[in-house]
A and B are shown apart, each in its own frame.
Chain A
Amino acid sequence: MSAPRTPLLSIKDLHIEFDTPDGTVKAVNGINIDLFKGEVLGIVGESGSGKSQSWMATLGLLAENASTSGAVLFDDHNLLNLPTRDLNPIRGNRIAMVFQDPMTSLNPYLTVETQMIEALRIHQKDMSKPAARQRCIQMLDRVAIPDADRRLKQFPHELSGGMRQRVMIALALLNDPEILIADEPTTALDVTIQAEILDILLALQPERGMAVVFITHALGVVAEICSRVCVMYAGQLAEVGPVEDVFTDARHPYTLSLLKATPRAAQDTTEQSNEALYAIPGAPPNMRMPPQGCPFEPRCACANSECSQENPKLEPLDDAPERLKACFRQQSSAELTEALNHGR
C-alpha cells in the first residue's frame, strides 16, 4: 500500500433499521466500507447479517419500512439522502446490481428485449431502438447466451435459471457501470452453472475496469475471485482485509469459526474426514434487541467479561494496517484456533 487511494464509493457509519409489526429490527449497525476502483470486494456473512441490505441501501432499494442513517459517498453525493430523481441517473448507469434470485428478478410479463432496451434507453436518451437492440445482442453474446436474437423476443419463463441470471448480468453491464454489486448471484443456481456465471463475471471485470462488490456466504467463491473481503456479523463488520491474509491468518474468532465451518473438498481430507463438520454453537442474536457488548460474544470461545460489556470498534491491526478487525482479543490466528478447539 503506497499513497492512500481515494475510494470510489465509501460507506460511512451506515445504520439500517426495519420497522416491523413485531418490533424494530436493527439490521445494520454502523458499518464503514471503502470501495476502490477496479477491485473485487467480497462481503461475507450469514443470512441476516445485513450484508445484502447495506448495499441495497446504497442504491435506495430498501423496503418501505426501512430507515437509514449515516452516509454513502459516491462522487460527492450522499446516495442515502439523494432524492429518487437524482438517484436514477446513477443507478443502472454508474452503479448496477445483480440480484440473488433470477427466477423472480425479471418481470414475467415483459419480454427480455423490453426489459433490456428500457435499461439502456433511460440512460442514453439519444440511442435509437435498433442501436439499443444491437447493443443488447452484443451484451447477450458477451455473457455467452447463444442465439441472442431469438432470446430477446422471449419471456423470462421461457429461459432457464442460469440463462436468466446471465440476462441479469448483461442487463447490469449494459451501461458500462463503474460499480457492479452482485448480491449472491449464484446462490439459487446449480453448481455447474455457478461456475459459468463466476467465469463470466471474472472475465468481464478486468476488461471493463469496474469495481465489483460480491456479496455471498460462500467463502470458497470469495477466495476464488475477490481481492479484499469484509466479514459481517449481526449488522457489523467483524474483519476486513485482503482475501489471502484474512483466510490464512484470520484474527477475528468469528472469521475463524466461519472458515472452520466451511466444508472442504480435496486438501484437508486426511485431517478432517473423520470428524463431524464444525458448527458454530448458538444462533445469531435477535436483531430486535441487539446485545450491549460484542454481538458474537455469546457464541465466542475466546470471550471474556470485557466482551459482554462493550462493543469493540473496528480498528487496524497493529502489525498490518491495511487489515481491520473488531475484537478485543489480540491473539494470533493459531492461538485463537487453539481456544476454539478447546471450547468444543
Chain B
Amino acid sequence: MSLLNRERNEEALAAAGEVLRSRSLTQLAIARFLRNRVAVGATAIVIVMILLATFAPIFELLTGYEMDYQDRNFYSGKAPNWDAKHYFGTDQNGRDIFVRTMFGMRISMLVALVAASVALVIGVGYGAISGLAGGLTDTIMMRILDLLISYPLTLIAVIALAYFGRNIFIVFVIIGLVEWQIMARVIRGQVISLRNSDFIEAARAAGVRPIGILVRHIVPNVTGVAIVYMTLIIPEVILVESFLGYLGLGVQEPNTSLGVLISEGANSIERKPWMTYGPGMFLVVLLLALNFVGDGLRDAFDPKDR
C-alpha cells in the first residue's frame, strides 16, 4: 500500500513536521492516518454505508418494499427502473433489491460488530495469556495456534451451523470463533515486546506491582493494536458471513444478508443479472473500503511495515 500512502497532502505534511517532536504516539498515528487520503476516503465510504444500513427502513418507505400486486408479472422480477424507484430492480418475489441490499448490509454490519467482538475477546485473551505466561505454556499455545491457522475453521463453522444454527446470534458467535487466530498472534507479540521493553523493566525496578504494570502499561499499549487488528478482522468476518449466507447456512428468511442476496441472484444470473449487481457491488465496495481503513490504520500505528 506504500504507493497509495505516498499520495499526500503537502500542507498536512508541513503541519506534521511540527507535530513530530511534541505529540504522543497515538496523536502521531492519527495525523499519519489523516494524511493517507485513500484511507480517509475509505472511512468516509464506510460511514456512509453504516448510515445507509442504519436507516434502511426509510428506503423501504421511499421505494415501496411491498410487492406490486397491480403488476400481474411481479414475480418474474424487474430490471432496474428509476421511474418506478426500483434502482436495483426487483427479485423473483417482486421485492425491491435496493431495499433488500440495505437490509442485507444491516446484517453484515451486525455481524461485523458481534463476531468481531467475539474474535477480539478470544484473540486478546488467548494472546495475552500466552504472552504473559511465557515459557512452556507459551510454546504450546503458539504451536497449537500455528497448526490451527492451517485448518479451515470455516468448514467447522459450516458443520456447526448446519447442526445448531437457526438463531441469528448463534450464527454470529460461530463466525467470531473462526477469526481470532491472527489477533491472538499479534497481541501475544505485542505483550512479549512490552514485557521485554525498557520502560516495563524500569517500572518493575521501581517497585510497581505486576497488577499496576498490567493496568498502567500493558493494557493501554495493547488496546491500540487490538483496535487496529479488529478493523482488519471486520472485513474477514463479513466475508465469512456472506459465504455462509451463500451456502444457505447463515441468516434465514425473512432476514437477509448480502451473501444470501448474491446466492439468490447467482441462481438466475442468466435471466436476471441485476439481482446480483446491487448486493455484489455493495459487498465488494464495503470489503474494499474496510480493507483500506484497516491497512491505513495499521500503517499509521506501525509505520515500519511499508
Is any CB of A less than 8 Å from a CB of B in the complex? yes
Interface residues of A in 16-34 (CB under 8 A from B): 21-23
Interface residues of A in 53-98 (CB under 8 A from B): none
Bound form: Cα–Cα A15–B16 in Å: 24
Contact in complex: B17, A21 (CB < 8 Å) = no
What separation, in Å, do the CA atoms of A286 and B306 have in the docked complex? Answer: 23
Say yes or no for A288: interface residue by CB 8 A criterion: yes
Instruction: Decide if A1 is an interface residue (CB 8 Å cutoff).
Output: no
B17 with A23: CB separation less than 8 A: yes
In the bound assembly, the distance between CA atoms of A286 and B32 in angstroms comes to 19
Please tell me which one of the listed residues A21, A23, A286, A289 contacts residue B6 in the complex, with CB atoms under 8 A apart: A21
Task: Tell me the bound Cα distance from A286 to B6 in angstroms.
Answer: 21
Q: Find out whether the CB atom of B17 lies under 8 angstroms from the CB atom of A289.
A: yes
* Distance between Cα atoms of A198 and B35 in the complex (Å): 47
A23 to B32, CA, bound (A): 11
Interface size class of A (residues with CB under 8 A): under 10
Please state if A22 and B6 are interface contacts (CB–CB under 8 Å).
no
The residue in chain A whose Cβ has the minimal distance to the Cβ of B303 is A21
Contacts of B32 in A (CB 8 A): 21-22
A314 and B14 alpha carbons, distance in the complex (Å): 31
Q: List residues of chain A with CB within 8 A of the CB of B5.
A: 21
Identify which of A21, A286, A289 contacts B35 (C-beta below 8 A).
A21
Inter-chain CA distance A22–B12, complex, in Å, is: 10
- With both chains docked as a complex, state the minimum distance between the C-beta of B30 and any C-beta of chain A, in angstroms: 14
Determine if B44 is an interface residue (Cβ-Cβ < 8 Å). no
Q: Which B residues lie within 8 Å of A23 (CB)? A: 13-14, 16-17
Whole-angstrom distance between the Cβ of B23 and the nearest chain A Cβ: 12
Query: In the complex, A288 Cα to B17 Cα: how many Å?
Result: 8
Q: How far is the CB of A266 from chain B (nearest CB, A)?
A: 34
> Smallest Cβ distance from B21 to chain A, in angstroms?
8
A21: which B residues are within 8 A, CB to CB? Answer: 5-6, 8, 32, 35, 303, 306
For A21, A286, A288, A289, which residue has the most chain B Cβ atoms within 10 angstroms? A21
Inter-chain contacts of A289 with B (CB < 8 A): 17
Against B, the Cβ 8 Å flags (1 = close, 0 = not) of A277-309 are: 000000000101100000000000000000000
* Cβ proximity bits B278-306 to A, threshold 8 Å, 1 near / 0 not: 00000000000000000000000001001
Write the residues of chain B forming the contact surface with A, with a CB cutoff of 8 angstroms.
5-6, 8, 13-14, 16-17, 20-21, 32, 35, 303, 306
Listed by A's residue number, 21 A-B pairs whose Cβ atoms lie within 8 Å are: A21-B5, A21-B6, A21-B8, A21-B32, A21-B35, A21-B303, A21-B306, A22-B13, A22-B16, A22-B17, A22-B20, A22-B32, A23-B13, A23-B14, A23-B16, A23-B17, A286-B20, A286-B21, A288-B17, A288-B20, A289-B17
Known: A286-B20, A288-B20. 16 other contacts (CB 8 A): A21-B5, A21-B6, A21-B32, A21-B303, A21-B306, A22-B13, A22-B16, A22-B17, A22-B20, A23-B13, A23-B14, A23-B16, A23-B17, A286-B21, A288-B17, A289-B17
